[in-house]
Structure formats: structure tokens, C-alpha cells
Amino acid sequence: MQINGAVQQRGHVLLVAGDTAGRRRTIQIEPSANLAALSLIPVPVLLGSDLPTDTTYLDGVRDQNALLVKLRRAAATRGPLLVYLSGRLTVDRRSHQLYLALSGTTPSTARYTALPWEWLGIELRQRPAGLTTVLLDLAADKGAWPLLQDYGSLPAPSSIEVYGTVAPPGFPGPDSSHVSAYTRAWIEQLRSNPQRPTSSRLHAMAVSAAALPPGTLVVPAAPELTAVPGLEQEQNARPLSTVQRVASGDTAFISELRERSAQQPATREAPPRAPAPDRPAVRPDDHQYPAHASSVPLPRAEPVRPAHPAPKQAAVQTPIPVQHPGPDAHSNPVPQQQDPRPYVYALAREGRFTDATLLAQAWETHTLQTLGIDSPHATQWIEIRADLAKQAGNYVLATQLWISAGRTRLAHQSPDAHEVLTTAQSAHYCWTQITDTSKARECGPELVALLRALPSLDRRHLSVAQQRMEHLHNTPTRR
């Protein structure tokens, strides 16, 4: 936020904790813990301004009108404003409008006990551009999530900056610290940077460092997070997950990213040859790769500087692409990149599934930044991660990743394409291996929807999936 000290006199920080987001005894977001963690950050650091600042801390508020009064008071400040919202997004059954649930809000009372999302825009839209930042750490319930997928984002006036994440319903929440991954990552970045970065850069670093659930809606979308100057110097940042960016299964979301990606510069610089590992890895047998991942060669297009470094946890030296300055970068022949997949699967064969997954995530990020959202190679890395999850016995994650890869392929390929059909078959197989009734029930509808979209697939897949879904719905969940 740009500060004009000759005009603005005071700043304002408004911290709001809505209702706890949870499902079946699983807490996804605990807003009170998030606000408590943020309150430990000095206000000038949090706001990014040395102006005198008023702070409003609202935890456990139940009255939408009382919250509206506080919001109006904050919006009336002449200086910079930061609004932080944490909690559960829900939807009104009658109007089908989004609401931030407050303490005590139920689906039937959202209209009278929750904060309408449009009120936020109405109160803030008259503020001068560049002075207002809205920070979100939310989880959507099962009623709000389809609406968010239709939107592809959260509606907000163009005069305000909105950053944050919205987790899909049903995923596990924070660890023992009770602070959400995104908020904790934001705080850690504030503490680790002596000079406060811009909010957009903080957001990019927080998203890259946070372990977000698959399918999380990131606001703003991916292109605004890539190629942040100097971001590669952040040694603790973890690579962005493709699932966080492109694998939510929303075709409209993919189209929007494609249009934004087209506005990015098309020039790419060639990296030098990455060093081979000290210990040569034996290429795995073909059956160790996903069914069609090995049939397409890795991209030879050359990358821009990676936005995030490879994770430190991956102990083996790997051909992660990096850029070294040199005046003759374009005059020398471009060397052939080494295929990183043997190293990924070599780690998996040793039982080092975490390291293998981190390496695959790093290549996901590199491929997205190098070749863009439409590249089939980016989808291949989702499939490789799905295969790693299957080998590790994590059939829930494997199913989710295979479904995401199938949806992404279906958005760009024919429904009868071999890769699309093989991906759907892999998703179905992994789903049949899930023994947890509730988890299988949650993944089932998305799988059935994918199978229905493939008329040339053996119809027995759809029939078996529908029969199992019927059985799961008739099976009581263990408590």
C-alpha cells in the first residue's frame, strides 16, 4: 500500500474471527488461534506503515450489524487499511449469496447471523486505490464451495487488494499450533524479512511455503504469484503445488488462467546443463511410471528463473533448473536437459516418498512457470505425484490427484484421448483401495462425474463406481 503522509493521518487494522470451520469433528480453521498469532506481530509491520494506527480485534462476534459498524468505522479511516478475515464461508439457501459465518451461524440462519460478502465490497469500494488490503484465510462449507467454483475467485472491488486462500470442505486443518498454514506462513515471512515486503510478495511467499489442501482456491490466481523479483532468495520457501493452482477441476478457472498467462512475456532464457547426481540412478522399469507419463518427452523449452527454490529436504542432488548469469547465454548451444523422473522414482524405490514428492513438486512449479498453464507436461507431474502417493499407500491423495489430472486433461483434450481414459482408470483403481468409508464417500462424486464425462470409457467403470457409492451411502460412518 502506498502511503502519502501529507494526506493520511491514521491507519487501521481490522482483525475478524468468524465461525470455526470444521466437518465431522475435524477442525479446518480455528479463527481465534489465527487472530491470537497475528496479534503478536507489531502493528506497523502488519500494516506496512509507520503512521499511528487503530486496531480493532473482533473474536466471537455474533451480530452482523455490530460487525458492519466496525467495518464502516475502519473504512472511514483516511490512511492505509488492513482487513483480516478468518473463518468459514457459507451460502444463504434462498439468495445463494456468499456469507462469512459468525459464531452461531447455521445454514438456515446465515441471512440474519452472518456477514454478507457483498457488504465488504460495498463498504470498501469508495476507498482510494492502493490504500486497502483484505487478507483472507477461509474454508468453504459444502454449500459455498460449488458457488466459488462457478466464480473462480472471490468477488471484490478493483480498488482493493485481496490476498488469501479458501480451502475446500472436508480437509484436515492445522497442526497442534492451531494456526492455519497460510496465516502461519504469512507471519513467518513477516518475521524473517527485516524490510517488510509488499503484500503481493508476502502472499506469494506464504502460498509457496504453506502446505495447502489440494484444490485450495488461491486469491489472486497463479499468474500473479509467479516471477516475483528476488523470490528465489527465500531459502525456506517450498514449491507451489500444481493442485493449488490448476487442479481444482474448474474448467472456467483454467480458462481464466490461460488468458492471464497469455499476457506474460513469451521470451525464455536457457539454463546451463544441470549437474548429474554424484551417484547415478538406475532408470526404473517402464511399469514404475504412470501409464502415459513416459510416452511424452520432457520439455526442452528453457525456463525463466525459478520463482521458488527446491526444498532442502530432498537430500539427493537433482537436476533442478537454476539460472546463472552469463553474457553469452544466447550464443552457446542449448544443452539437453536431463530427465528428472529416474531420480524421482529412485527415491521412491528407496522408500523416500517425501523426498520424491518434494522433487516432483519442484518440477511441477518449474514446468508451469516455463511452459504455462496449458502445457501437458505440467499435468504429467500431477500424475507422477499421484503415482508416488499410490506407491506410498496414500490412496486418498492418489485418487484426488488422478481426478484433478483427469479434469485438467479433459479441459484440453478429447474425451476419447488415451491419456484421459488412462487417467480416469487410475483414479478409479485408487478409489477402490480407499478403506475409510467417509473418505471414499467424499471422493466418490467427483470420480463419478469424471467417469460420466468419458463416453468411450468402458462403462463397467461407471457402473461399478455407482454401485459402490450406493453401498457407501448405506454404510454408517464409524465414530
Q: Which residue has the cell 523470490?
A: 231
Three-state SS for 167?
A: strand
Supply the pLDDT for residue 262.
Answer: 58
The pLDDT value recorded for residue 228 is 39
C-alpha–C-alpha distance, residues 227 and 233, integer Å: 12
- Cell for 249? 477441476
What is the pLDDT, as a whole number, of residue 421? 92
pLDDT (mean) for 284-310: 39
Cα 174 from Cα 213, distance rounded (Å): 11
| HSE-CB for 23 with a 13 A CA cutoff | 17
Q: Are 38 and 108 in contact (CB under 8 A)?
A: no
Percentage, residues of the chain above pLDDT 70 = 70
Closest CA to 405 of 169, 212, 246: 246
Q: Are 356 and 388 in contact (CB under 8 A)?
A: yes
- Annotated domain spans of the chain: 11-220, 286-473
Q: In terms of CATH architecture, what is 11-220?
A: 3-Layer(aba) Sandwich (3.40)
The pLDDT assigned to 175 comes to 61
Kindly state the average pLDDT of the residues 50-64: 89
Q: Is the pLDDT of residue 135 over 50?
A: yes
* Element containing residue 449 per DSSP (H, E): helix 437-452
Residue 259 confidence (pLDDT): 58
Measure CA of the first residue to CA of the last residue in the chain; give whole Å: 49
Residue 83: band (very low, low, confident or very high) from pLDDT cuts 50, 70, 90: very high
Contact 10, 55 (CB under 8 A): no
Please write the tens of the pLDDT for every residue from 40-54. Answer: 888 999 999 889 999
Report, as an integer, the average pLDDT of 267-274. Answer: 40
Distance (Å) of CA 185 to CA 126, 217, 224, 237: 31, 16, 18, 9
Give the C-alpha distances (Å, rounded to integers) separating 192 from 16, 67, 133, 206, 307: 25, 33, 21, 12, 18
pLDDT tens-place string over residues 340-387: 888 888 888 888 888 888 888 778 777 777 776 667 888 888 899 999
Select the more confidently predicted residue: 470 or 324.
470
- Quote the mean pLDDT of the chain: 75
Question: Quick one: CATH architecture of 286-473?
Answer: Alpha Horseshoe (1.25)
Q: Is residue 352 within 8 Å of 318, Cβ to Cβ?
A: no
Among 162, 155, 168, 149, which Cα is nearest to 254's?
149
Q: If DSSP codes are grouped into helix, strand and coil, which group holds residue 477?
A: coil
pLDDT, tens only, 315-341: 444 444 444 444 443 444 434 456 788
Q: Which of 65-74, 119-128, 146-155, 462-471 has the lowest mean pLDDT?
A: 146-155
| Rg of the Cα atoms in the chain | 23
Q: Check pLDDT > 70 for residue 144.
A: yes
Mean pLDDT, rounded, for 75-98: 91
Residue 349: predicted pLDDT: 86
**Cell numbers given for 259:** 488468458
ω before 306 within 30° of 0 (cis)?
A: no
User: Which of 205-219, 230-244, 438-452 is most confident?
Assistant: 438-452
